[in-house]
Structure 1
């Protein structure tokens, strides 16, 4: 799997890892009635990068999508998607290991 950040023809960052990699992608998923949070993450250069979907019906009937970046243990900055999103997170997380250190868990 590969994560690419940037515009077509101007990729600013790339990260690749296979399923068996110790330093590969991990996932977290939390679900209950009217709430669904999913993240796929990796760590590079002391920063954690996550692609996320956040849905909470008490806030909005539309899920939020984006990329979150945080220095390990520091504050998180989110870049929200501004265009049409194709969501295959649920299919991908079936092939990743859980990040048991996250409060979101792995339901």
Structure 2
């Protein structure tokens, strides 16, 4: 079985969501990465993206005007407040079930 190839995506991420600008591009990247996955046309390639935030969800709710469940749907995880579950949530999202 061929080993998966991991390509450097940081330049792509930088162009889609510059580090000095948090905004729609960054919180929508979970959709953008799926569009890129489709364009690759390789069924063996599966891409996911996550934001792991140190900022509490109640602060982000005020900034982004969305509830935590909406943030979770956009793959925004909260490192401190969900410290016992955020890594598991991420892994559960990316593991392919047989």
- TM-score, with structure 1 as normaliser: 0.24
Structure (1 or 2) with the greater helix fraction: 2
Flag the structure with larger Rg: 2
- TM-score, with structure 2 as normaliser: 0.25
